[in-house]
């Protein structure tokens, strides 16, 4: 059921105007031997009612779960106005604002977004977004290689406390350009980068990546790490969670002079979990590196009459002008998600974001207190945390997770796939959306399941012959 | 006026702020934020009013005809958004277990299957988050293929001079040198030049068909043979799939890898510049290298394939499953079209483009490729107006805005002077197309009789022409 408005009469008129008898003639430049035989395997079209019935049924199968998983995607309350406004046709169905005069709405909004992001991160400039947090880290690595002219090695120190998928994406995207992502191990007691393990003479390296909070939810010693990297002429790439910056020190203030490039995922600012996307990538930097930054950037300027207006600027960095010499092949940004984030930040304001951050922290702290009382469960890292924590279980977490999912509870994320040493561990998160009753329910269920598994673990009575 | 200029210190939006929040006592003082957060302090109504008013300063598909060539600005059905935002989908965490994900995964699996059929490719991965990422995945797979054979002599990617800028930029990201292939007078790739260019150094060619010149590449089979015989692979830029749905399949043309722009052909919203989605499809020989995750079906259960299942994958491109919500909208749209609807989309997109082209020609506009059919789009060149009247394509574009039409793509492809790349899509009525033609005729007359009006356009929009030089020289990138 396509969205085609033509009547039969109009079709005839249009064919006559073109000078052909039927539409098929318009395809006569396609060589006969290439003409497709059809699309038989695709079902016939559906009306909106029919597809709606199917989608309601399928959405129902993925019934809303009580979710304590985080690991880069966080459930926060999204004010109703965010998506009411974001899906207004004038935002939703507009194209990239290349025709500035016809796109002042999107352009001003993006300028406001850039302003909010620089305010939040404490950095000089922001772009208008990249695809997601992981790809923004990859772009930050490429950018650091361009920006740090003192370094020749393209060595990027990459702590294992960075999200494993972020590291995987950075590897995928940067590997063809001679860039080496060198792993830095972590302190298995503290759950963060071990300052004492940093070499006195690390040799030339281009940048150090610092995640804050890190993948385990722990807070890194960002000041000392930043200064250490700068002492060795390396840049600092911060990977941040924007919500956390309302509570903890922003990267622009780390150490003596702050981080150089900041990236991260903007999802916590108004994007639904939605199976992992669409989210958006954050990218901020020092003024000195703005010409090395990838992606779209909006500037404020004046029009012929001297009135204020907004336009895409510094386009000479981009692929549609520079082609093979561009800073990146990136073409789109995630405009719609940035629209949602800008409206979200306006609605909650500084006090709201501060309270969201504190409530998320306090709820996770409550989870720690409760869950630590359950026999066979313990929090394993000692560093302060933001709103995520790693728990170790005496029993197989796969069984606990499975039993909880039968109760529509998503307990957290297992870590053994990427950290074999963290076998039987769950990374768990309780944002402001979780009440004490929700957390109590989770803890009761874990306690019950653990004791059931424990009792079934006892060896069966030996059979007598 | 910026939203920050409406801010008042101490104004809070109590309905949107978590209540009774206790102070944080267990994070050391030195780690806490001390500086104020410079976000606006405005009411909910102020926010709603501000962003509603901003939205009204935009052109959009929902408000204007938007004949932007190469961008396929078709109607974005409202139902696709409503259904993709159902709570079961919107609230699903990417790490939800499979037993709480079957509904979503079923949609993704069926989307993969439909895209395979449409493109004639053997396998599809939905992972890339945008066209440019799909391109990157494609070229990285070509590299992985040659690397696996130990063939490290292949250092070059061929790209037609008319190609989209992301093509050469992508080849560079994969550490290939870019060699441009010229286009002949009729808009086809210059096959003799191609023959001279290929060799043991050729890793592959990146082609768009229908090309960015709005014509079908007629000698595509021959091109495929030339490149394959030289040991290279063929990459298909699927930006222009709309007019060939069900008519011709890239797999049949001989392509080894294709990316699709779902935000074009499959009508997901452009959203003011994104998000997109750029799935890739491959021929048999590139299957091992597809990006993860993908969706598979085993014993009537769906699950994600990861690095563990696909050890030779070119890798991961996003933290989770790409732009999952965009993929869901595309699935809903594709399921609504069905096989019958897809054929009709190609039919009517091509009809609208040819109708517009023929009528503009009859009205005296010069076509870039006069004796060719339009595909889903075509090119008008305004070089005569530029030379005789000093009225550029950009002036025409800005004046069109005054007439209530979004401008076509201007100055792309770069090799046609003063060009308009025009793509009406199948969702526009004949009346809308006729209105656009009348506006073009009227501006053409103004260009001669009232030149000043045209070259100083627009006159009726929220701003006049903007000072781009000042924007780049006196950088003002935020309010802080």
pLDDT digits (tens, 9 = 90+) for A188-229: 999 999 999 898 899 999 999 999 999 999 999 999 999 999
Q: Nearest C-alpha of chain A: how many angstroms from B190?
A: 17
Q: Does B415 touch chain A (CB under 8 A)?
A: no
**A64-94 burial: b if 16+ Cβ within 10 Å, else e:** ebbbbbbbbbbbbbbbebbbebbbbbbbbbb
pLDDT at A321 over 80: no
CA nearest to A274 within chain B: B90
Q: What span, in angstroms and rounded, lies between the C-alpha atoms of A236 and A217?
A: 20
How many CB pairs below 8 Å do chains A and B form together? 685
Q: pLDDT of A146-193, one tens digit each?
A: 999 999 999 999 999 999 999 999 999 999 999 999 999 999 999 999
- In a shared domain, residues A443 and A330: no
Indicate whether A254 belongs to any domain.
yes
Residues of A in contact with B95 (CB under 8 A): 69, 71, 73, 410, 413
pLDDT of residue A463: 53
pLDDT at A464 over 60: no
- Indicate the pLDDT class of residue A461, thresholds 50, 70 and 90: low
A248 to B77: CB separation less than 8 angstroms, yes or no: no
CA nearest to B462 within chain A: A101
**Alpha helices (H) in A277-334, listed in sequence order:** 319-322
Closest of A169, A56, A158, A75 to residue B322, by C-alpha: A169
Q: What is the CATH classification number for the domain harbouring A424?
A: 3.90.1150.10
A275 to B412: CB separation less than 8 angstroms, yes or no: no
Q: Does B460 touch chain A (CB under 8 A)?
A: no
Q: What is the CATH classification number for the domain harbouring A335?
A: 3.40.640.10
Domain boundaries, chain B: 3-45, 80-337
- In a shared domain, residues A337 and A354: no
Structure tokens at A415: 């870590």
pLDDT at B293 over 50: yes
Q: Is the Cβ–Cβ distance between B127 and B292 less than 8 Å?
A: yes
Q: What span, in angstroms and rounded, lies between the C-alpha atoms of B433 and B67?
A: 10
pLDDT of residue A456: 81
Q: Does A407 touch chain B (CB under 8 A)?
A: no
- Indicate the pLDDT class of residue A465, thresholds 50, 70 and 90: very low
Centroid of chain to Cα A7: 46
- In a shared domain, residues A403 and A423: yes
Instruction: Quote the number of domains for chain A.
Output: 2
The range of the structural domain enclosing residue A92 comes to: 80-344
Closest Cβ opposite residue B316 in set A168, A318, A324: A168
Q: Which residues 26-85 in chain A show a CB within 8 A of chain B?
A: 26-31, 33-36, 38-48, 51-52, 54-65, 67, 69, 71-73, 75, 77, 79, 81, 83-85
- In a shared domain, residues A102 and A203: yes
- Which backbone phi and psi does B237 adopt, to 5 degrees? -85, 110
Q: pLDDT of B317-366, one tens digit each?
A: 999 999 999 999 999 999 999 999 999 999 999 999 999 999 999 999 99
- Residue at a domain's end among A344, A369, A387: A344
Closest Cβ opposite residue A34 in set B96, B248, B372: B248
Q: Does A398 touch chain B (CB under 8 A)?
A: no
Centroid of chain to Cα A219: 18
ipTM of the complex: 0.97
Closest of A462, A72, A317, A323 to residue B179, by C-alpha: A323
Indicate whether A175 belongs to any domain.
yes
- Residue at a domain's end among A344, A359, A391: A344
Indicate whether A5 belongs to any domain.
no
Q: pLDDT of A7-52, one tens digit each?
A: 999 999 999 999 999 999 999 999 999 998 789 999 999 999 999 9
CA nearest to A17 within chain B: B355
- In a shared domain, residues A412 and A357: yes
- Output the average pLDDT for chain A: 95
Query: Which of A453-462, B218-227, B243-252 shows the lowest mean pLDDT across its residues?
Result: A453-462
pLDDT at B268 over 90: yes
* DSSP character string of A114-140: HHHHHHHHT-SEE-S-BS-HHHHHHHH
pLDDT at A323 over 80: no
Domain B80-337 class in CATH: alpha beta
- In a shared domain, residues A319 and A385: no
CA nearest to A104 within chain B: B57
Indicate whether A6 belongs to any domain.
no
- In a shared domain, residues A266 and A397: no
- In a shared domain, residues A229 and A355: no
pLDDT at A244 over 60: yes
Q: pLDDT of A280-319, one tens digit each?
A: 999 999 999 999 999 999 999 999 999 999 999 998 877 7
Q: B156-160 and B177-181: which strand pairing? A: parallel
pLDDT at A254 over 50: yes
- In a shared domain, residues A329 and A395: no
Closest of B314, B267, B274 to residue B294, by C-alpha: B314
Closest Cβ opposite residue A347 in set B47, B102, B173: B47
Indicate whether A47 belongs to any domain.
no
- Indicate the pLDDT class of residue A462, thresholds 50, 70 and 90: low
Residue B472, Cβ density class (10 Å: 0-12 exposed, 13-18 middle, ≥19 buried): middle
Indicate whether A44 belongs to any domain.
no
Closest Cβ opposite residue B13 in set A10, A280, A352: A352
Structure tokens at B270: 């452009």
- In a shared domain, residues A368 and A281: no
Q: Nearest C-alpha of chain B: how many angstroms from A400?
A: 12
Q: Is the Cβ–Cβ distance between B109 and B297 less than 8 Å?
A: yes
For the residues A369-385, what does the mean pLDDT come to?
Answer: 97
Q: Which residues 199-238 in chain B show a CB within 8 A of chain A?
A: 215-216, 218, 220-221
pLDDT of residue A460: 55
pLDDT of residue B478: 97
pLDDT of residue B239: 86
Q: Is the Cβ–Cβ distance between B277 and B130 less than 8 Å?
A: yes
As a dihedral over the C-alpha atoms of residue B136, residue B139, residue B143, residue B144, rounded to 10 degrees, the angle is 70
- Which backbone phi and psi does B479 adopt, to 5 degrees? -85, -5
- In a shared domain, residues A270 and A193: yes
Indicate whether A19 belongs to any domain.
no
Q: Which residues 434-453 in chain A show a CB within 8 A of chain B?
A: none
CA nearest to A174 within chain B: B173
Q: What span, in angstroms and rounded, lies between the C-alpha atoms of B233 and B141?
A: 10
Indicate whether A358 belongs to any domain.
yes
B341 to A339: CB separation less than 8 angstroms, yes or no: no
- Residue at a domain's end among A311, A344, A377: A344
Q: pLDDT of B65-84, one tens digit each?
A: 999 999 999 999 999 999 99
- In a shared domain, residues A91 and A176: yes
As a dihedral over the C-alpha atoms of residue B252, residue A27, residue B75, residue B394, rounded to 10 degrees, the angle is 110
Q: Does B157 touch chain A (CB under 8 A)?
A: no
B373 to A28: CB separation less than 8 angstroms, yes or no: yes
């Amino acid at each position: 059921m396509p969205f085609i408005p033509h009547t039969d009469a109009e079709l005839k008129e249009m064919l006559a105007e073109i000078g052909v008898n039927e539409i098929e003639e318009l395809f006569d430049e396609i060589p006969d031997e290439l003409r497709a035989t059809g699309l038989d395997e695709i079902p016939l079209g559906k009306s909106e009612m029919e597809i709606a019935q199917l989608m309601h049924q399928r959405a129902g199968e993925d019934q809303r779960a009580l979710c304590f998983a985080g690991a880069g995607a966080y459930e926060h309350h999204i004010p109703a106005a965010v998506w009411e406004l974001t899906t207004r046709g004038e935002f939703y169905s507009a194209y990239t604002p290349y025709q500035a005069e016809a796109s002042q709405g999107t352009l001003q909004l993006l300028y406001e977004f850039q302003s909010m992001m620089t305010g939040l991160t404490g950095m000089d400039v922001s772009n208008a977004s990249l695809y997601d947090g992981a790809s923004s880290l990859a772009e930050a690595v490429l950018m650091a290689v361009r920006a740090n002219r003192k370094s020749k090695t393209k060595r990027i120190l990459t702590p294992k406390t960075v999200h494993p998928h972020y590291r995987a994406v950075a590897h995928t995207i940067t590997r063809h350009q001679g860039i080496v992502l060198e792993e830095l191990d972590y302190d298995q007691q503290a759950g963060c980068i071990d300052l004492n393990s940093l070499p006195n003479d690390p040799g030339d390296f281009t940048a150090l990546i610092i995640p804050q909070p890190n993948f385990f939810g722990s807070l890194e010693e960002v000041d000392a790490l930043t200064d250490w990297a700068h002492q060795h002429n390396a840049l600092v790439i911060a990977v941040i969670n924007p919500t956390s910056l309302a509570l903890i020190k922003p990267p622009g203030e780390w150490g003596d002079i702050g981080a150089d490039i900041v990236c991260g995922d903007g999802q916590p600012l108004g994007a639904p979990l939605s199976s992992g996307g669409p989210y958006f990538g954050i990218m901020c930097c020092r003024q000195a590196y703005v010409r090395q930054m990838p992606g779209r950037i909006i500037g404020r300027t004046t029009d012929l009459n001297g009135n204020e207006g907004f336009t895409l600027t510094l386009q000479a960095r981009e692929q549609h002008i520079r082609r093979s010499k561009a800073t990146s092949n990136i073409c789109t940004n995630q405009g719609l998600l940035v629209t949602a984030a800008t409206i979200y930040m306006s609605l909650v304001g500084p006090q709201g974001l501060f309270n969201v951050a504190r409530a998320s922290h306090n709820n996770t702290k409550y989870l720690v207190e409760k869950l630590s009382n359950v026999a066979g469960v313990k929090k394993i890292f000692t560093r302060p945390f933001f709103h995520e924590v790693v728990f170790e279980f005496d029993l197989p977490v796969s069984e606990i997770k499975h039993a909880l999912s039968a109760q529509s509870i998503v307990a957290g994320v297992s870590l053994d796939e990427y950290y074999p040493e963290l076998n039987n561990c769950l990374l768990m998160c309780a944002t402001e959306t979780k009440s004490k009753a929700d957390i109590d329910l989770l803890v009761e269920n874990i306690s019950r399941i653990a004791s059931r598994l424990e009792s079934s673990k006892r060896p069966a009575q030996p059979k007598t012959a | 006026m910026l939203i920050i200029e409406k801010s008042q210190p101490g104004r809070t939006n109590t309905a949107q702020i978590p209540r009774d929040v206790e102070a944080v006592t267990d994070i050391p003082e030195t780690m806490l934020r001390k500086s104020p957060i410079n976000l606006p302090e405005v009411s909910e109504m102020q926010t709603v009013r501000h962003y509603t008013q901003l939205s009204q300063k935009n052109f959009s598909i929902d408000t204007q005809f938007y004949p932007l060539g190469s961008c396929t600005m078709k109607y974005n059905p409202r139902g696709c958004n409503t259904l993709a935002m159902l709570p079961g989908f919107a609230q699903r965490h990417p790490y939800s277990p499979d037993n709480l994900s079957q509904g979503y995964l079923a949609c993704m699996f069926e989307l993969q299957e439909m895209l395979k059929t449409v493109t004639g490719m053997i396998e599809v991965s939905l992972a890339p988050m945008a066209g440019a990422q799909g391109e990157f995945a494609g070229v990285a797979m070509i590299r992985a293929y040659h690397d696996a054979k130990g063939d490290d002599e292949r250092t070059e990617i061929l790209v037609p001079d008319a190609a989209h800028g992301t093509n050469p930029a992508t080849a560079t990201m994969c550490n290939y040198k870019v060699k441009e292939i010229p286009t002949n007078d009729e808009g086809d790739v210059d096959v003799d030049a191609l023959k001279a260019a290929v060799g043991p150094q050729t890793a592959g060619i990146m082609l768009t068909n229908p090309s960015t010149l709005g014509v079908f590449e007629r000698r595509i089979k021959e091109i495929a043979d030339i490149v394959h015989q030289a040991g290279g692979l063929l990459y298909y830029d699927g930006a222009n799939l709309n007019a060939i749905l069900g008519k011709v399949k890239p797999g049949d043309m001989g392509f080894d890898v294709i990316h699709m722009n779902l935000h074009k052909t499959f009508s997901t919203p452009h959203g003011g510049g994104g998000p997109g989605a750029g799935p890739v499809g491959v021929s048999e020989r590139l299957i091992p290298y597809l990006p993860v995750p993908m969706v598979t079906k085993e014993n009537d259960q769906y699950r994600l394939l990861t690095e563990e299942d696909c050890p030779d994958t070119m890798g991961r491109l996003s933290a989770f499953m790409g732009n999952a919500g965009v993929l869901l909208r595309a699935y809903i749209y594709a399921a609504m079209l069905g096989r019958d609807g897809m054929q009709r989309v190609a039919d009517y997109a091509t009809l609208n483009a040819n109708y517009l082209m023929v009528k503009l020609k009859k009205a005296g506009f010069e076509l870039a490729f006069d004796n060719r059919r339009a595909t889903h789009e075509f090119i008008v060149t305004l070089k005569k107006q530029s030379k005789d009247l000093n009225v550029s394509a950009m002036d025409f574009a800005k004046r069109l805005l005054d007439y209530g039409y979004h401008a076509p793509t201007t100055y792309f492809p770069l090799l046609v002077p003063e060009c308009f790349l025009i793509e009406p899509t199948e969702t526009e009525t004949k009346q809308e197309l006729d209105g656009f033609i009348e506006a073009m005729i009227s501006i053409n007359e103004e260009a001669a009789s009232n030149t000043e009006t045209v070259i100083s356009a627009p006159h009726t929009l929220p701003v006049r022409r903007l000072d781009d030089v000042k924007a780049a020289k006196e950088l003002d990138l935020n309010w802080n």
